[in-house]
Structure 1
Amino acid sequence: MGKIDEAIEIIAALGYPRTQQNERSGLTLLALVQLKEEGSWQTLSEPLLGVRAILDYCRNDYNKPYAENSRESFRKETLHQFVSGGLALQNPDKPSRPPNSPQWNYQIAPDAKQLLLTYKTPAWDEALAAYLSQIGSLAEKYKAHRDLAMIPCRLPDGSLFEMSPGGHSELIRDIIQEFAPRFAPGAQVLYLGDTGNKGVVMDLAALELLGAPLHERGKMPDAILYAKDKDWLYLVESVTSVGPVDGKRHAELSYLFRNVSAGLVFVTAFPNRQIMARFLPVIAWETEVWCADNPTHLIHFNGDRFMGPH
């Protein structure tokens, strides 16, 4: 039996469903422990690997060249399940790493590595039984560790939700908890985007009533707030590296929300003025700029009046 088949046998013994008992998952496990065909299960490594590195391992060490578009299959159909089951960890070096980071990585879980070291030895059966008896608690332990890095945000109605870790989510939280009470008091949160879970908050009924688009998530701003007393709809972009309301984005949002009856207020939010300074030359007129490090102030990029629809 070759190493790929042995890895699949281990995956099956750990109770993963048949959809994970395949070559892709077997190779992923072998990559996580850096085990080559001529190697031994008693000599394993535990590197931090991104999906690209795992694909390279499949090609270079097992002559299994996977196409570039298979990255999502490795991520969503193998690694996600390995992480959920406690077999692998994601970003153990930095749990707060944002989902779109090129440094996103995976590592074999310490308990799983200790189990794998007993494979093909007399200690395997006993070690496997002990591992399986505690795998539920292990998975919960690792999940709790991941959850600690999530960004909590409290909505105006008092409800709490969590977003993926990272500066982008932190800024969205500040928009809701710092910008909204000051410059959109009493406004209802109709939409919040999140890099790890697009559309964390989406009030479809309210958006439809206002004539806002419902099926354009990829084009939506990061936050949409509605102030009923003024009949203003705030379209807010959270900018930590890219994506301010420049002339092009202003035109896109204006067209996307062309059927909205409420007045449109365009806002670009930055973490601080240092980041804002990089984008000042492209900020569109008739828009607003807010910085989280100076939450009580607003910059008006317009000439005829202060904040409001134009």
Structure 2
Amino acid sequence: MPSIKSAQKILELIGMPDKQCAELPALTLLAMADIDEQATWDRSTNNWIRIHDIIQFVNTNYRKNYAENSRETFRKQAIQHFMQAGIIENNDKATNSPNFRYRITSEFKELIQKFDSVEWEFKLNEFSNSHETLKNKYESKRNLTKIPITINSEGFEFSTGKHNELQKAIIEEFAPRFAQNTEVIYVGDTTNKFLVLNQDRFKELKMEVFAHDKLPDVVLYDKDKNWLYFIEAVTSVGEITPKRIIEIEEITKDCDAGNIYITAFQDFKTYKKFANSIAWETEVWLAESPEHMIHLNGDRFMGPRD
């Protein structure tokens, strides 16, 4: 029968670092393969799954008690390393989309299905001999489709996708026009939720550093004006609604900076789909018309809410 120890053994045998052979990564593997204590490894699946689902599976099937706010622990100790090793993949949705998922790759699923069978050694050797090539192929594919971007005068790369293309436009097209002299203090990426996170600035502003689940996609700070720009990049979900404003104001309740709320879209067609749900006293920016803003602030233009 599968066990935490057997999952740890699999991770060890494919060459994962010691820290990624610990209990939590092993539990993550079991959850992603949909293997409870009554199942056998040959029944492993690779269905799409959220980190929330992993936590629920582990707590239910392995009698653990991980809290919902431990998602970042699972991401940092297991998911990110599994992604780098090329044994899992994501579905390239925006990270703040409810449809964002991970799954075990088909190649890795075929391997673990043979664990503890007469074919295991052969399959492991076959996987080991080809996996480095497979990892390189994944890495090459990711690198070919990386989106280069300059953030705070430093070079970074976004993974491919419409959401990150819009985030790039926010930083390189919106900010120079409508938020001059600001610094990017937070922006995430599909594979790295904390691509940029200025913890010192967050602490200085008395904001929750790891409230990333509530933060919008891009946060800019204008030190001279003491203004914060909270910007959502919307391709399929995530516009600035009254509810989002309440969530962000909770994060900034101890901060004396002025808050500016902006929903960014690629084009007017997408904006129209969300127009009825965007909060008043906020701003809208369209990447296809970068020189213009849509102000939902009556006779007042860009600036913090009263």
Say whether the fold is shared (TM-score over 0.5): yes
In the alignment, which of 294, 300, 304 is matched to residue 299 of structure 2?
304
Change (3 A) 1:281 1:109: same
Are the equivalent residues in 2 in contact too, given 1:164–1:197 (CA < 8 A)?
no
**Residue 77 of structure 1, CA deviation:** 8.3
Are the equivalent residues in 2 in contact too, given 1:7–1:29 (CA < 8 A)?
no
Match in the other structure for 1:175:
170
What is the SS of the residue equivalent to 2:263? strand
Are the equivalent residues in 1 in contact too, given 2:8–2:22 (CA < 8 A)?
no
How many residue pairs match? The answer is 282
Match in the other structure for 1:281:
276
**Residue 184 of structure 1, CA deviation:** 0.8
What is the SS of the residue equivalent to 1:109? helix
Match in the other structure for 1:240:
235
Match in the other structure for 2:138:
142
Question: Does the alignment pair 1:161 with 2:160?
Answer: no
Residues in 2 aligned to 1:184 and 1:308: alpha-carbon distance in whole angstroms: 10
Are the equivalent residues in 1 in contact too, given 2:235–2:270 (CA < 8 A)?
yes
Residues in 2 aligned to 1:231 and 1:275: alpha-carbon distance in whole angstroms: 31
**Residue 149 of structure 1, CA deviation:** 4.0
What is the SS of the residue equivalent to 1:189? strand
Are the equivalent residues in 2 in contact too, given 1:182–1:296 (CA < 8 A)?
yes
Change (3 A) 1:83 1:267: closer
- The code of the aligned residue for 1:146 comes to R
Are the equivalent residues in 1 in contact too, given 2:32–2:47 (CA < 8 A)?
no
**Residue 138 of structure 1, CA deviation:** 4.0
Are the equivalent residues in 2 in contact too, given 1:89–1:106 (CA < 8 A)?
yes
Are the equivalent residues in 1 in contact too, given 2:229–2:260 (CA < 8 A)?
yes
**Residue 146 of structure 1, CA deviation:** 3.4
- The code of the aligned residue for 2:214 comes to K
Structure-to-structure mapping, 1:37-76, within 5 angstroms:
49-51=47-49
- The code of the aligned residue for 2:136 comes to E
Residues in 2 aligned to 1:244 and 1:189: alpha-carbon distance in whole angstroms: 20
Residues in 2 aligned to 1:30 and 1:245: alpha-carbon distance in whole angstroms: 36
Are the equivalent residues in 1 in contact too, given 2:240–2:279 (CA < 8 A)?
yes
Residues in 2 aligned to 1:3 and 1:213: alpha-carbon distance in whole angstroms: 40
- Comparing 285-294 and 209-218, the one that deviates more: 209-218
Are the equivalent residues in 2 in contact too, given 1:154–1:161 (CA < 8 A)?
yes
Are the equivalent residues in 2 in contact too, given 1:300–1:306 (CA < 8 A)?
yes
Change (3 A) 1:240 1:133: closer
- The code of the aligned residue for 2:89 comes to Q
Structure-to-structure mapping, 1:111-260, within 5 angstroms:
120=118, 132=128, 135-157=131-153, 159-260=154-255
Q: Which runs of 5+ in 1 are unaligned?
A: 40-46, 56-64
Residues in 2 aligned to 1:10 and 1:206: alpha-carbon distance in whole angstroms: 41
Match in the other structure for 1:43:
none
State percent identity of aligned pairs. 34
- The code of the aligned residue for 1:213 comes to E
Residues in 2 aligned to 1:262 and 1:132: alpha-carbon distance in whole angstroms: 53
Residues in 1 aligned to 2:279 and 2:83: alpha-carbon distance in whole angstroms: 43
Change (3 A) 1:275 1:133: closer
Match in the other structure for 1:90:
89
| TM-score, normalised by the number of residues in structure 1 | 0.66
Residues in 2 aligned to 1:166 and 1:104: alpha-carbon distance in whole angstroms: 16
Change (3 A) 1:264 1:144: same
**Residue 189 of structure 1, CA deviation:** 0.9
**Residue 292 of structure 1, CA deviation:** 1.2
Match in the other structure for 1:261:
256
- Comparing 286-295 and 244-253, the one that deviates more: 244-253
| TM-score, normalised by the number of residues in structure 2 | 0.66
| 1:60-93: CA deviation from partner (whole Å, max 9, x where unpaired) | xxxxx889x99x999998887666445x4636xx
Q: Which runs of 5+ in 2 are unaligned?
A: 54-60
Match in the other structure for 2:58:
none
Residues in 2 aligned to 1:181 and 1:168: alpha-carbon distance in whole angstroms: 20
Residues in 1 aligned to 2:223 and 2:304: alpha-carbon distance in whole angstroms: 14
Residues in 1 aligned to 2:62 and 2:189: alpha-carbon distance in whole angstroms: 30
Are the equivalent residues in 2 in contact too, given 1:97–1:104 (CA < 8 A)?
no
Residues in 2 aligned to 1:209 and 1:75: alpha-carbon distance in whole angstroms: 26
Residues in 2 aligned to 1:251 and 1:66: alpha-carbon distance in whole angstroms: 37
